[in-house]
Amino acid sequence: MRKKAIICGIMLTGVLCVMGISGRSACAQTITVRLVQVLASNRGEEYVDPTLGALGDKLKKRYPYRNFRKVGSGSASGRVGGSVRFSLHGGMVLTLGLKGYEAPMVLMHATVTSAEEAITAMNLKVRESRTVILSVPLGADALILAITPHLT
C-alpha cells in the first residue's frame, strides 16, 4: 500500500511538472516589454552613448548617423489581447498591441502616433527576450526604438 502511494505521488509530481512546463507556452498571459529610445543624428561629433553598451555598437553599424544618444527607457506589462503604451521623445506615443504568444514568438502590433496621427504602424513577430529595432524619422534625425518582449 505504501509503495503504491509513493508511486502515485511520483507520477502526480511528474504530471504537474509537465503541465507547468507546457503551461508556460500555452497559458502565459502576461508580456512585459522593455523599450530603449535612442536619438540618432549627424549633429556634433561622433558619439555613442556608453550606457547603450552592445546596442550602441549595433546601431552604429546599422544606421548612417554619427551620434547615438539614449533619450529614454522603460518597461510596461500587459495581458495578451491588451496593449501597453510608452511616451516617446518628441511628444510621440508608442502603442504595442499584445496580440499573442506562439512559442517562442511574441506577436505585437506597433503604432507610433504624434498629435493623434499615426506615423507608422506594423505587425511584429519577435522571439521572446530578443530585441527588434524600429526607426522613426524625425526630420534629418531618427528616433530608434529597441523593443524587447518577455513572458512574465
Q: Examine residue 17 and state whether it is found in any structural domain, yes or no.
A: no
Rounded to the nearest 5°, which phi and psi values hold at 6?
-65, -45
Rounded to an integer, the average pLDDT of 10-20 is 39
Residue 15: pLDDT over 90? no
Q: Which amino acid is present at 12? A: L
Q: Examine residue 64 and state whether it is found in any structural domain, yes or no.
A: yes
Give, for 55, the enclosing helix (H) or strand (E): helix 54-62
Model pLDDT, residue 76? 98
Is 147 in contact with 136 (CB distance < 8 Å)?
no
Q: Examine residue 1 and state whether it is found in any structural domain, yes or no.
A: no
Q: Examine residue 8 and state whether it is found in any structural domain, yes or no.
A: no
Domain count of the fold of the chain:
1
Residue 105: pLDDT over 60? yes
- Summarised one tens digit per residue, pLDDT across range 22-59 is 344 445 589 999 999 999 999 999 999 999 999 999 99
Model pLDDT, residue 23? 43
Range of the domain at 91: 27-151
pTM, 2 dp: 0.81
Residue that has been written with the C-alpha cell 550606457 in this structure: 51
CA distance 151 to 44: 39
Q: Examine residue 9 and state whether it is found in any structural domain, yes or no.
A: no
Q: Examine residue 15 and state whether it is found in any structural domain, yes or no.
A: no
Q: Which amino acid is present at 88? A: L
Q: Examine residue 147 and state whether it is found in any structural domain, yes or no.
A: yes
Q: Copy the grid coordinates of residue 148.
A: 524587447
CA distance 74 to 65: 24
Is 149 in contact with 31 (CB distance < 8 Å)?
yes
Q: Examine residue 4 and state whether it is found in any structural domain, yes or no.
A: no
Q: Copy the grid coordinates of residue 142.
A: 531618427
Give, for 64, the enclosing helix (H) or strand (E): none
